[in-house]
Every structure is written in C-alpha cells, then in structure tokens.
Amino acid sequence: MRPHTDACIPERPAPKTSGTPDRPRRHDDWTTVNYRYEHKYLVPETLREPLRCAVEPFVRPDRHAGFRESPDIGHYVGYTIRTIYYDTSRFRNYYDNEAGVPERAKVRIRAYDEMSGGRRAFLEVKRRHGAVGSKARAPVPFDEVRALLETGDIESHVHSTAGSPDAVEHASEFLFRLRGHALRPVLLVAYAREAYVGRDLASLRVTFDGALRAEPFPELADLERPGEGRPVRRGYFVLEVKYDVGFGYPEWLRPFLGEYGLTRIAFSKYFESVFQHDIVGRYSRARSLANSRAAVLAAARCGGGARSVADRRVAGLGGR
C-alpha cells in the first residue's frame, strides 16, 4: 500500500524480480493447512477506506493478490473466490451451524478468479473445533475435478507436491465425507477478497470479503462462469482476522474496532446465504409439493383417479 493525500488506496503489488528464488513460505500459501484462530466482524462498506488506513502500517498485500476493480467496492488488492458448498438433503451442516455445534466440518470446492486452462480447484474440508479452525485441502486441475468426483480415482488426479504434501490424504478425506454423508452441491458463494498478511507476524492474515453473492444448487461448471448470483448482506463486508499462535491477535486493531463499535460475531458465508435466500424453506416446500403430487398420482393409480379438482391440481393433472 502507499500513502495518499486523501485516502489509503491499495498499491499494485510489485512484480517479482527475475531470477529471485521464491522464499520458503508457510502461512500464506494457498495449499497450506494450519490450525488457526479466526475473528470475524461485519463492517459497513463506508468504513472500508478508514480500515485500510488503520491496518496499512502493519500489513502488506498477500503475494497472491492482484490489482482489481469491482463495481461494488471499487479498486482493491486481492482476488475473487468462488466456492461450491456441499450439504446433506436435510441440510445438516446448515442446522449444525445454526445450533452452534462446537465440532463441525464444511465440505466444499474452491476456485480463485476466473478459471482457465491449467488453473486449479481445491477440494477442501474446513473443520471447526470450538474456537479453533483448521482446513484440509487438495489441489486438482480443474479439468479433472469432474472425473475425480465420478470415479474416486485419487491416484490418477491428485498428486502430492512440496507445496501440498498431504494432498492425497486430504482428497481422501474429502471424498470420504462427500460419499459417506451423501452430500450434494447446495450453494455457490462468490466474493471479492482484499487480502493482507502481517509485516512482523507471519501467521497473521487480515482480509476484507465483500460483494458477496450466492446461487443455489450449482453445477460444477459454475465455478468457471462469473455469474451474477444474488447479493448477500449488500453494503457490508466481512473483516476476518486469522492467526495461528495463542497470543497473535493484533492489538493495534482494537482502537479502530472500539471507535466504530465493531464487535466479533459468528458469521458463516454459507449459513448467511442459505438463510437470507430462504433456500431451506424453498427446497422443503418444493419437496413437500413433489411428495403431494406423488401421493395423489399413486392414489389415482390404485383407487381409480383423484377424488377432487384440488387433488388433480396438486398432482399436476389439470382440472377446473
């Protein structure tokens, strides 16, 4: 970032110097899994610029971030995240989140920015253990994800590397949960992430997740289509502070939070999107209607036909 006379405008990340070897990295690698603490705050978009100025002395742009522009939030340094969340037919993960079950897991497939040839998707299992979270993830070439899901052939499609040494194990856990709990794709969530890492504390990540949109019951191909989706929490973004040491919370952030009355909240993009768009209710009503139609049709076959005009309408048989 750079100073500005009127505002703290994100700076375009400097290009990597040719011939400079990559430094070993742990905390800000997309394929790394850590146990970490997470603090979330729902922040009005009107405070994005003041917050940038507050964090500027203590953070730098994530190495994966690029200079981007969004019609909802303007210029930012970050990337677009698109995630397909899986759940059971009875929305067990949704209800576990609502009930605050202390140990739970979300199964999802995540992609960054628009997909193109050679890009990867990530099979992820995000676990919650009380106040601590962890994430297992396996990178897979996007063009091979469908074949992997259909065949379960991990050996052919998932390969461990120095950057993701546990990829095969994590892909196995993903498929075990996917098939063992009969999960199906419930929601596509997309948002613009403005991403920073700590200057002095390597494990610290500070992100602003805004322009949140959601689309119910997606196809795998939707990960590579920008798609509009329906807005979620319009006019707000989610501030996330993540660190993996017991006393790693940035004390320098507290004055800003106190000045604007921002308090820590439990916020799940999956739960919030499903709730705001009444996806559970809409699905339950559709299933109930389908069951009613099936019952009337069965009665018609066994008992000589629907007994009333109303029954015939429910069954989709017509009638005036």
pLDDT digits (tens, 9 = 90+) for 75-127: 888 999 999 999 999 999 999 999 999 899 999 999 998 655 568 999 999 99
> What does the pLDDT average to over 173-198?
96
Residue 132: band (very low, low, confident or very high) from pLDDT cuts 50, 70, 90: confident
Q: Are 202 and 26 in contact (CB under 8 A)?
A: yes
Amino acid letter, 134:
S
The pTM assigned to this predicted structure is 0.80
Give me the pLDDT at residue 299, please.
64
Task: Answer whether residue 30 shows pLDDT above 60.
Answer: no
Across the chain, mean pLDDT equals 82
CB 260 within 8 A of CB 47: yes
Question: According to the CATH classification, is domain 36-277 in 3.20.100.30?
Answer: yes
Give the C-alpha distances (Å, rounded to integers) separating 55 from 6, 52, 58, 264, 280. Answer: 16, 5, 6, 17, 38
DSSP assigned state of 220? G
- Taking only the tens place, the pLDDT of each residue in 224-257 is 877 668 999 999 999 999 998 777 899 999 999 9
Q: What is the DSSP letter of 258?
A: H
Q: Using the structure block, give the residue that is written with the tokens 């990960």.
A: 223
Q: How confident is the model over 136-156, as a mean pLDDT?
A: 95
Written as six digits, the tokens of 198 are 């700590």
Domain boundaries, the chain: 36-277, 282-314
- SS3 call for 192: strand
Which range among 44-48, 131-135, 179-183 shows the weakest confidence by mean pLDDT?
Answer: 131-135
**Residue-wise pLDDT tens digits, 50-72:** 999 999 999 999 988 888 888 88
- Helices (H) and strands (E) counted in the chain, each on its own, are 9, 11
Q: At what angle do helices 92-99 and 269-276 cross, to 10 degrees?
A: 100
